[in-house]
Amino acid sequence: MGAWALPLLLVGFWGIAQLDLDCAHKSRSRAQLDRIRLAEIETAEDNAQAALREALGGCLAGAEPDRCRQETRQRFSAAWTTQKTQIEEKYRRLQEEFEVRCRASLT
């Protein structure tokens, strides 16, 4: 992870903690969650791409650079898929918790 990535992650976490999800304005609140989710995915994807490029650079010195690049891409692709799924699951849970809270406030 680059030196600039940690501050971005902290800002993202702070943004989640500061969410103002309002049951009276559910569509606006859902849109806010979607924007933050997409921003987190884009930041994570940028970080993953940078890490991949750096790892691929190490393949140039090896005996089998083509095989190294292929294996590195597969490894990073699997890791990115897992990371993206985790981010999407986190926001699915936040959305569910918001919906439950709104339903409970009606009763």
Query: Which tokens hold the place of 82?
Result: 């897992």
Sequence letter at residue 103: R
Determine the average pLDDT of the residues in 4-9.
51
Chain-wide mean pLDDT for the chain?
84
pLDDT at residue 20, rounded to an integer: 73
- Give percent above pLDDT 70 in the chain: 81
Of 43, 69, 67, the residue nearest 55 (C-alpha): 69
* Residue of higher predicted confidence among 85 and 13: 85
pLDDT at position 12 over 80: no
Query: Which tokens hold the place of 58?
Result: 């190490």
pLDDT at residue 88, rounded to an integer: 96
Owner of token pair 């989640």? 16
| Cα 86 from Cα 71, distance rounded (Å) | 23
